[in-house]
Structure 1
């Protein structure tokens, strides 16, 4: 913990459950070790800042973008020279009300037509989270207006499965 900023230490300590504190600590260590390897630098050379909506970034270099997500047994780290957002979620039963509050009509249709609705929900949810994390706003009031099954030519979203988890990565292709 002493290798992390005071802000990050406080964030980790504010989690209620030990498993959440441990996941957050491991995520911090993973990103630091990875960036130290990329930049061939010491931990103390890495300076992080937090964007308006809570997305961390390196304050002393804007070449590398990164994003983290964790869910139970997994930590997902995405690193790119492009804007990036990632999300991973354990596939579980979903609350039907969420789809009407958060999803685009075509995403709702996709879930309703799916054979495995829990899987379809998780796929759309991870795509939605990855998209909004990529643009750096977090989930916003625009959530229902974005169709992550067809996000437009500037965005690429890929989704895969591992064990009982779905994970998505979103990249923004600027012109």
Structure 2
């Protein structure tokens, strides 16, 4: 990372990963990270435990799961029509713009859904976002109290998200 804030948030993500391992009574030693073919990180010394991290501006999130998982967080900013047209197919665009006062939030929700799917697969963005889907996995959207952040969690599992 080139920006200092991104380096700090990356370090905070690692601390959050350690915390999650401890909270779930899984911690035995500091995690050692390996990287897949498209640089998706995995835990070398915790086989069978999957994780994913995301950060934006001044927030970081971590997902820990028993199967592959993707998570994304974005700050809700002003609505961007060009971005909406770029990332949404026609039906998604109609959903995003249907309620004018929710357009900004819905646009970030759509983006985080797609990004968490990409992060689940660990392939990177390999096509235009409007052609990307959330891979049929469950997606949980959490809106913070001040509605400034959207989080999408995408575990590739048939079990409901706890």
RMSD of aligned Cα (Å): 2.2
Match of 1:17 in 2: 3
Of residues 158, 164, 168, the one that matches 2:140 is 158
Q: Counterparts of 1:54-73 in structure 2 under 5 Å?
A: 54-73=39-58
1:93 matches 2:75: no
Partners in 2 of 1:83 and 1:142 — Cα distance? 23
State the TM-score, normalizing by the size of structure 2: 0.83
Match of 2:96 in 1: 111
Partners in 2 of 1:128 and 1:91 — Cα distance? 16
Partners in 1 of 2:18 and 2:35 — Cα distance? 15
Q: For each residue in 1:12-52, what CA deviation from the matched residue of structure 2 results, as whole angstroms up to 9, or x when unmatched? A: xxx33322221111112221343366433122xx3221112
- SS, match of residue 39 in structure 1: coil
- For structure 2, the 5+ residue unaligned runs are none
Partners in 1 of 2:128 and 2:81 — Cα distance? 19
Work out which of the two has the higher radius of gyration on C-alpha atoms and give 1 or 2.
Answer: 1
Distance 1:142 1:60, change over 3 A: farther
Partners in 2 of 1:112 and 1:119 — Cα distance? 10
Note the C-alpha offset of 1:145: 2.3
Structure number with higher helix proportion:
1
Query: Which of 30-39 and 109-118 deviates more?
Result: 30-39
Of residues 130, 136, 153, the one that matches 1:144 is 130
State the TM-score, normalizing by the size of structure 1: 0.77
Partners in 1 of 2:7 and 2:46 — Cα distance? 28
Partners in 2 of 1:57 and 1:174 — Cα distance? 22
Partners in 2 of 1:60 and 1:142 — Cα distance? 35
Partners in 2 of 1:75 and 1:122 — Cα distance? 16
Partners in 2 of 1:172 and 1:99 — Cα distance? 26
Q: For each residue in 1:84-131, what CA deviation from the matched residue of structure 2 results, as whole angstroms up to 9, or x when unmatched? A: 111111100243222332223221111121322111101101111111
Match of 1:47 in 2: 32
Distance 1:160 1:52, change over 3 A: same
